[in-house]
Amino acid sequence: MSTVPRIVILGAGYGGVLTALRLQKELGYNEANVTLVNKHDYHYITTHLHMPAAGTDDPENARIHIAKLIDEFKIDFVKSTVVQIKPNEKKVILEDGTLSFDYLVIGLGGEAETFGIPGLQQYALNIRSINSVRLIREHIEYQFAKFKREPHRKDYLTFIVGGAGFTGIEFVGELADRIPKLCKQFDVDPKLVGIVNIEAAPTALPGFDPELVEYAMRVLTDKGVTFKIGTAIKECTPGGVQLATGETIKSTTIVWTGGIRGNRLVEQAGFEAMRGRVKVDPYLRTTQHENVYVVGDCSLVMNEQGKPYPPTAQLAMQQGIACARNLVATIRGEPLREFKYDHKGVVASLGKGEAIGIVYGKKMTGRKAAMMKKLIDLRYLFMIGGIPLVLRKGKF
Amino acid sequence: MSTVPRIVILGAGYGGVLTALRLQKELGYNEANVTLVNKHDYHYITTHLHMPAAGTDDPENARIHIAKLIDEFKIDFVKSTVVQIKPNEKKVILEDGTLSFDYLVIGLGGEAETFGIPGLQQYALNIRSINSVRLIREHIEYQFAKFKREPHRKDYLTFIVGGAGFTGIEFVGELADRIPKLCKQFDVDPKLVGIVNIEAAPTALPGFDPELVEYAMRVLTDKGVTFKIGTAIKECTPGGVQLATGETIKSTTIVWTGGIRGNRLVEQAGFEAMRGRVKVDPYLRTTQHENVYVVGDCSLVMNEQGKPYPPTAQLAMQQGIACARNLVATIRGEPLREFKYDHKGVVASLGKGEAIGIVYGKKMTGRKAAMMKKLIDLRYLFMIGGIPLVLRKGKF
């Protein structure tokens, strides 16, 4: 029997892919067998999904086939859906099989958090995957086509975006850019189209620099976005949304970006979790199982003030790198290193040529911020796929 | 008061546009005031609509802005919808006004004939206009996007086309060409997609050369189309169709091409009409009103055997030319000429590079027929817009 340890990585998102790539690089021949499991045979760049969702970019630019990322001589890839995680038995149940592991990395990503708002689960669309953003894009175009047959249905042309966090803000920026093109394509008067961004918190981009938030709202308002800030959605129906204020907005399109929770599978596996996010130890391991690591949206890492870091691509990537390093150290019997999140900053796109951001503590807006956003995207492509991937997927 | 006669043309389809263009060419300064009325500010090439409907061509290639076709110094254009025709009062009521006429040309086109099949009017899509084919294209793409979220819904990938006449056959040819591209775009297994063409008559393309019909069905079957010939649709529901055989086909897409009738406005105006088609005299005038001409799908012209010619673009165009000639003759007090339909032949496309046809009595198939189809299309563009239009809209 082989004594080579088996590492199974669940999910090829930011966390899983970075873990896999670093293991591929660091591990020597026969040091470990690594298997990456993912629902699709592609990785997608979640931070880019607001563009294909709005239809301002091709979904192909937001995904990378896993075969182009990993070296299948070094890492096995299994395209399957995880059904159950059994940490005590060191097994993962897949839709079509079972995998045993010595070490497990859970990077299964998040799900939309609907906070129990009735109807959101059923009627709202989510910016969560290639499939879901293709659906949003097709849904939006379909509303324009349907409007031309039923011109009394103004609700076809009202687009509600729930949540004005980073995803919501980036999506309305793209959608506002797309609307004039759709109006031209379908012969629709642009004055009939409305984008309404609804946020329950007392500000858009809660927790972000107020001056930049104001800039973002001004840019987006000028592009035709209507904000309803400090306004909770009470209920979502096939006909629109009802707000806590009593107001009803008729719309056949609700895109929900209002919250993210971890994956239900980690709760079902019995890990100590808050809304599907597992509280990990300083080495990114679950508190119950030293051989199970959690990275990305399913993990909960606290900052120095004891508050959880928001789940971002940046956090997931750094976790993937740290997780791989600790796995290698474990296998080699070397000491583990604590994970420290290094917050480099954040940039949010507001549509073509417009963005806001804080990078290494420096505020920026407009073209400069948009350029920085582009650089961050290219840097990511470079990190995971080197120059060839930058050339293939990076748009200049 | 002016004694210049007022000619009003309703509809800028094949018949109306040809009438207008010939009047523009023949009439001298101040011989008549001509007004063309159309719902849209563009003319569309109905025989081309099966392509944008399937998504194999841009709808822009199937329409021509009226301002590019007519000389607005010679002919007035009114973009409006006709609400009522009052032949006794020599008035036409528009959505937003009234027009008086001395001579009227009715070229309002046809509507889908559903033969009273329950549900068809509500749930089936029609290949009848730019707006309706954009809706079909968007609807089809939307079904693919929805399927990826609900992979148990095979009915999303079943496309039912009712009617295997020329429009039905041409549409399934294009759709069969498009399916592999849609499957690639949405990551769908092509084996899951079905196109079902249902025809109540005992043969596809009823009345057409049996050898060519057989050729067409073989080509289309090879492309993946399933035919149900001699099979009537009993009912259409949001979930699919029920056939007279008792069989039910689950599908969220029903495109109805099974029949055309004339416009309901001509019945409401009191003209002697069969299914909205007005029986015209040999000069294309209504039998009740010498000053009212009818061209295109709203007119009924009998062949030598006393059976009505099917409503085609070719017939409408020849009628438009004859109608303009008789209008000029009337105004000048010259004798009218009887309309004689000159059937040059017919070519039906079966998708890219494939077609069948009979031209001047000669049968043709395959690339040669497809080339002929292209030539006919280009000839039409040349007829209405000369070389500039051929260069702008003709695809080589």
Model ipTM value: 0.89
> What global pTM score does this model have?
0.92
Q: Where are the alpha helices (DSSP H) in A45-129?
A: 50-54, 66-69, 120-123
**Annotated catalytic residue, options B170, B174, B199, B267:** B170
To the query of whether residue B170 is one of the catalytic residues in this protein, the response is yes
Burial class (CB in 10 A: 0-12, 13-18, 19+), B329: middle
Give the integer Cα–Cα distance in Å for A214 and A205. 10
3.40.50.740, 3.40.50.720, 3.20.20.70, 3.50.50.100: CATH of B113-257+345-396: 3.50.50.100
Architecture of the domain made up of A114-258+344-396: 3-Layer(bba) Sandwich (3.50)
To test the contact with chain B by mutation, choose from A142, A153, A253 the residue with the greatest count of B C-beta atoms within 10 A, namely: A142
What pLDDT sits at residue A2? 56
Given a contact cutoff of 8 angstroms between Cβ atoms, the answer to whether B381 and B393 are in contact is yes
Check whether B2 has a pLDDT greater than 80: no
Number of H helices, E strands in chain A: 10, 26
Given B132, B138, B148, which is nearest A131 (Cβ)? B148
Tokens of residue B166, six digits = 């020329």
Residue with tokens 């609804």: A198
- CA B244, distance to chain mean position in Å, is 28
- The residues of A assigned a catalytic role are 170
In Å, how far is B352's CA from the nearest CA of chain A? 25
- The answer to whether domain B6-39+80-110+262-343 and domain B113-257+345-396 are alike in fold is yes
Q: Which of B206, B196, B188 is nearest to B256 (CA)?
A: B196
Return the residue of A nearest to B185 by Cα: A60
Q: Tell if the CB–CB gap between B134 and A146 is shorter than 8 Å.
A: no
Q: Tell if the CB–CB gap between B186 and A149 is shorter than 8 Å.
A: no
Give B110-160 pLDDT, tens digit per residue: 999 999 999 999 999 999 999 999 999 999 999 999 999 999 999 999 999
To test the contact with chain A by mutation, choose from B79, B111, B131 the residue with the greatest count of A C-beta atoms within 10 A, namely: B131
Given A134, A137, A149, which is nearest B148 (Cβ)? A134
Q: Which of B336, B396, B348 is nearest to B373 (CA)?
A: B348
To test the contact with chain B by mutation, choose from A133, A187, A189, A255 the residue with the greatest count of B C-beta atoms within 10 A, namely: A187
Q: Tell if the CB–CB gap between A131 and B149 is shorter than 8 Å.
A: yes
Mean pLDDT for each consecutive 10-residue tract of chain A (396 residues)?
A: 87 97 94 97 95 96 94 95 97 97 97 94 95 98 97 97 97 98 97 98 94 98 98 96 97 95 94 93 96 97 91 96 98 96 94 95 95 92 89 75
Q: Tell if the CB–CB gap between B139 and A135 is shorter than 8 Å.
A: no
Buried-exposed string B212-243: b where 16+ CB fall within 10 A, e elsewhere: bbebbbebbeebbbebbbebbbbebeeebbbb
What pLDDT sits at residue A1? 47
Given A131, A135, A141, which is nearest B138 (Cβ)? A141
Give the integer Cα–Cα distance in Å for B182 and A44. 20
Check whether B391 has a pLDDT greater than 90: no
Strand-pair partners of A235: A242
What pLDDT sits at residue B213? 97
* Residues of A in Cβ contact (< 8 Å) with B95: none
Architecture of the domain made up of B6-39+80-110+262-343: 3-Layer(bba) Sandwich (3.50)
β-strands B248-250, B240-243 pairing: antiparallel
Q: What number is the average pLDDT over the span B263-283? A: 94
Given A135, A141, A187, which is nearest B149 (Cβ)? A135
Local structure of residue B47 (DSSP, 8 states) = G
In Å, how far is A338's CA from the nearest CA of chain B? 39
Given a contact cutoff of 8 angstroms between Cβ atoms, the answer to whether B282 and B299 are in contact is no
Q: At what angle do helices A14-26 and A313-332 cross, to 10 degrees?
A: 30
* Residues of A in Cβ contact (< 8 Å) with B126: none
Given A134, A137, A149, which is nearest B135 (Cβ)? A149
Residues of B contacting chain A (CB within 8 angstroms) = 40, 131-132, 134-135, 137-139, 141-142, 144-146, 148-149, 186-187
Establish how many alpha carbons lie within 13 A of residue B20's alpha carbon, considering only the half-sphere containing its beta carbon. 32
Residues in chain B: 396
Given a contact cutoff of 8 angstroms between Cβ atoms, the answer to whether B37 and B121 are in contact is no
Q: Where are the domains of chain A?
A: 6-39+80-110+262-343, 114-258+344-396
Check whether B1 has a pLDDT greater than 50: no
Given a contact cutoff of 8 angstroms between Cβ atoms, the answer to whether A107 and A15 are in contact is yes
* Residues of B in Cβ contact (< 8 Å) with A147: none
Given a contact cutoff of 8 angstroms between Cβ atoms, the answer to whether B366 and B384 are in contact is no
Return the residue of A nearest to B146 by Cα: A135
Burial class (CB in 10 A: 0-12, 13-18, 19+), A97: exposed
Give A277-327 pLDDT, tens digit per residue: 999 999 999 999 999 999 999 999 999 898 999 999 999 999 999 999 999
Residues of A contacting chain B (CB within 8 angstroms) = 40, 131-132, 134-135, 137-139, 141-142, 144-146, 148-149, 186-187
To test the contact with chain B by mutation, choose from A133, A134, A156, A185 the residue with the greatest count of B C-beta atoms within 10 A, namely: A134
Rg of chain B over CA atoms, in angstroms?
22
Q: Which of B252, B190, B255, B222 is nearest to B50 (CA)?
A: B255
Given A132, A135, A145, which is nearest B134 (Cβ)? A145
Buried-exposed string B284-309: b where 16+ CB fall within 10 A, e elsewhere: bbbeebebbbbbbbbbbbeeeeeeee
Tokens of residue A203, six digits = 């500000």
What pLDDT sits at residue B238? 93
Count CB-CB contacts under 10 A for residue B102. 16
